[in-house]
Amino acid sequence: MDFAYEIAALISKAAEISVEDAREAVEVPANEDMGDYAFPCFRLAKVMRKAPPLIAKELAEKLEKPDFISDICVVGAYINFFTDKSTLVKEVLLKVLEKDGDYLKTDIGSGKTVVFDYSSPNIAKPFHVGHLRSTVIGNALYSIYKALGYNCIGVNHLGDWGTQFGKLIVAYKRWGDKETVEREDVKELSRIYVKFHEEAEKDPSLEDEARSWLVKMQEGDSEALELWKWFVEISMKEFDRIYDRLHITFDSYAGESFYNDKMQAVVDELNEKGLLTESEGARIVDLEKYNMPPCLILRRDGGTLYPTRDIAAAFYRKKTYDFYRDVYVTALDQNLHFAQWFKVIELMGYDWAKDSLVHVPFGLVSLGDGKLSTRKGHVVLMEDILNAAVDKTKAIIEDKNPDLEDKDEVSEQVGIGAVIFNDLYNSRIKNVVFDLERMLSFEGETGPYVQYSHARACSILRRAGADKPEGDIDYSLISDDASVSVCKAIGDTEAKLRDAAEKYEPYILTRHIVDICKAFNKFYNENNIMASEGELKKARLAVVYAVKTVVAQCLALLGIAAPERM
């Protein structure tokens, strides 16, 4: 039984609102005293032409209280519902035992395709912490939408074309050699790239040289293209190492170069529609009316730009995937870029631009830990961060649990899990601080804390000799507050997932996992599971099993492993 859905059906019967719309409005109040579910009446005000609090009062009187509801009360514009505890416990546990690994799966998104554009690092430049955020947030959103039944397409829009390659070719020809690049890969490419900038300050003719190599690339010159391809391969090797460690894959790696032959059509269409104007030799779309600087389409030398490639990519994706949403996960310093070209597509007359194109921005990363911060202007390499987290975890395990089997694997899972958890713990717009000490602490709301709670549940089940409780369970034995709270938290998971998806905010799920774990640890401290007997023990083990199952699935959606022993 889906309580939120049942409540929506109840409301829909009594007011002019569809079950779907009512379901969307049903909330889980932050404070348990306000009930288990709430229906805010604001959206009925338009049709009913009354003040929301009055609507709430009248509507609540009309509702017939079903068995699973123990109480209905009105607070302001909200109708609050209290579920009958024994029904709640039974429904939640039954559902987990029945659906198991599919507990979180629903089909509300079925028939709809959502494209997620995330990670998208730039070739020949290092994969930095900003890209980690995009990767981790994008991957979580992708998985959450997938669990909700959407058809998801993960696109890594690699920055694999543009001026940096002209510079890199010049740099390589002057200061690079094959062997070193092959040995040092991206590190060496960034070294010579940085050197290019230093040298170009002294000798500006290097910039012209770089531009002429870019022109050669665009004209299909084989030497230029061969070098370009090689740089791409070298970089991909590094990126793939990181994706492997994060267990992340993409459905498409169509990067910027993929759109080279698809941009002329965009330029032609913009021309036909009278949207292109000239400005200092460049071609732009004027956006003054919309309080934005112009969107640059063609450079003075005819070269295309980042927005041009994004516009071409959006059309290609619309045609290829017929998306319901096309979601871009990048740092918030790209806000203007997306607002500009979204507007351009709208001005071209495509209605879908308004609802379907979504920019999901996130805040910066600052490095709290002195050891990881480097000199100004230098990016911190992703791999260094992951390694530092894993090494530190390993040291903690050596200290606390030296006999643990698979120490290396668990260190990797916990260290990387802590980095991901830390990234997804707050609203994405907030800045993230990398403070290894705090991230790896077992106390407080951290990755290791939730992983440890999960491992504790596994260990209880192991010691009880039953991974999954079999046969009939007497759910009425689960009635104390702590136990009911665990079940309630588990039962809220679907609502949290929907909320996280709707707001593109993985943190809603991250914090929900913390809530389940906190409730579970309280339940564990208050109920002596191992000392209880017979039917009571079995019922309690069912609660433990539900925690283990649902926490592991939620963690998986965030891209975090759930080791069984820690």
Q: Which segment (83-91, 113-121, 345-353, 522-530) binds ligand ARG by CB under 6 A?
A: 113-121
| SS3 track for 128-153 | EHHHHHHHHHHHHHHHHHHHCCCEEE
Please tell me the distance from the alpha carbon of residue 158 to that of residue 228, in angstroms, as a whole number: 14
Q: Kind and range of the H or E element at 366?
A: strand 365-367
- Which of 133, 157, 317, 537 lies at the binding interface for ligand ARG (CB under 6 A)? 157
310 binds ligand ARG (CB under 6 A): yes
423 binds ligand ARG (CB under 6 A): no
Q: Which segment (29-37, 114-122, 290-298, 498-506) binds ligand ARG by CB under 6 A?
A: 114-122
Site for ligand ARG, residues 451 to 510, rule: CB under 6 A: none
Contact, 304 vs 383, CB < 8 A? Answer: no
3-state secondary structure of 61: helix
128 is catalytic: yes
Please tell me the distance from the alpha carbon of residue 462 to that of residue 471, in angstroms, as a whole number: 18
Cβ nearer to ligand ARG, comparing 157 with 392:
157
Kindly state the smallest distance separating residue 69's Cβ from ligand ARG, in Å: 46
Active site residue: 50, 95, 112, 128, which one? 128
Cβ nearer to ligand ARG, comparing 299 with 511:
299
Kindly state the smallest distance separating residue 260's Cβ from ligand ARG, in Å: 15
Kindly state the smallest distance separating residue 71's Cβ from ligand ARG, in Å: 49
Cβ nearer to ligand ARG, comparing 340 with 393:
340
Kindly state the smallest distance separating residue 319's Cβ from ligand ARG, in Å: 16
Cβ nearer to ligand ARG, comparing 235 with 413:
235
122 binds ligand ARG (CB under 6 A): yes
Q: Which segment (81-89, 105-113, 115-123, 511-519) binds ligand ARG by CB under 6 A?
A: 115-123
Kindly state the smallest distance separating residue 136's Cβ from ligand ARG, in Å: 15
Burial class (CB in 10 A: 0-12, 13-18, 19+), 52: middle
378 is catalytic: no
Q: Which segment (120-128, 171-179, 489-497, 515-523) binds ligand ARG by CB under 6 A?
A: 120-128
131 is catalytic: yes
Non-local (6+) Cβ contacts of 387 within 8 A are: none
Please tell me the distance from the alpha carbon of residue 560 to that of residue 552, in angstroms, as a whole number: 9
356 binds ligand ARG (CB under 6 A): no
- Which of 159, 361, 469, 563 lies at the binding interface for ligand ARG (CB under 6 A)? 159
Q: Which segment (85-93, 119-127, 345-353, 539-547) binds ligand ARG by CB under 6 A?
A: 119-127
Kindly state the smallest distance separating residue 421's Cβ from ligand ARG, in Å: 23
Kindly state the smallest distance separating residue 340's Cβ from ligand ARG, in Å: 12
- Which of 80, 83, 113, 120 lies at the binding interface for ligand ARG (CB under 6 A)? 120
Cβ nearer to ligand ARG, comparing 164 with 485:
164
Non-local (6+) Cβ contacts of 265 within 8 A are: 312, 315
Burial class (CB in 10 A: 0-12, 13-18, 19+), 411: buried
Q: Beta 282-285 vs 295-298: how paired, if at all? A: antiparallel
Contact, 472 vs 90, CB < 8 A? Answer: no
Kindly state the smallest distance separating residue 428's Cβ from ligand ARG, in Å: 15
Burial class (CB in 10 A: 0-12, 13-18, 19+), 78: buried
Cβ nearer to ligand ARG, comparing 118 with 545:
118
3-state secondary structure of 74: strand
Kindly state the smallest distance separating residue 126's Cβ from ligand ARG, in Å: 11
Active site residue: 131, 318, 496, 537, which one? 131
Contact, 3 vs 46, CB < 8 A? Answer: no
User: Could you give the angle at which helices 534-558 and 407-423 cross, rounded to 10 degrees?
Assistant: 70
- Which of 143, 190, 330, 527 lies at the binding interface for ligand ARG (CB under 6 A)? 330
Q: Which segment (118-126, 200-208, 243-251, 399-407) binds ligand ARG by CB under 6 A?
A: 118-126
**How many CB atoms are located within 10 Å of the residue 390 CB?**
20
Residue with tokens 């941009």, as numbered in its chain: 263
**How many CB atoms are located within 10 Å of the residue 166 CB?**
25
Kindly state the smallest distance separating residue 201's Cβ from ligand ARG, in Å: 24
Identify the bridge partners of residue 32 per DSSP, sorted by sequence position: none
> In residues, how long is the chain?
566
Cβ nearer to ligand ARG, comparing 161 with 449:
161
Active site residue: 57, 95, 112, 125, which one? 125
Q: Give the burial string for 212-233 (b: 16+ CB within 10 Å, else e).
A: ebbebbbeeeeebeebbeebbe
Q: Which segment (117-125, 196-204, 294-302, 474-482) binds ligand ARG by CB under 6 A?
A: 117-125
- Which of 328, 434, 449, 504 lies at the binding interface for ligand ARG (CB under 6 A)? 328
Non-local (6+) Cβ contacts of 313 within 8 A are: 157, 254, 258, 259, 262
The radius of gyration of the chain's CA atoms, rounded to the nearest angstrom, is 27
Please tell me the distance from the alpha carbon of residue 539 to that of residue 135, in angstroms, as a whole number: 40
Please tell me the distance from the alpha carbon of residue 286 to that of residue 280, in angstroms, as a whole number: 13
Residue 381 is given by DSSP the state B
End-to-end Cα, the chain, rounded Å = 35
Site size for ligand ARG, by CB under 6 A?
9
- Which of 117, 185, 188, 492 lies at the binding interface for ligand ARG (CB under 6 A)? 117
The contact set with ligand ARG (CB under 6 A) reads: 117, 120-122, 157, 159, 310, 328, 330
**Residues designated catalytic:** 125, 128, 131
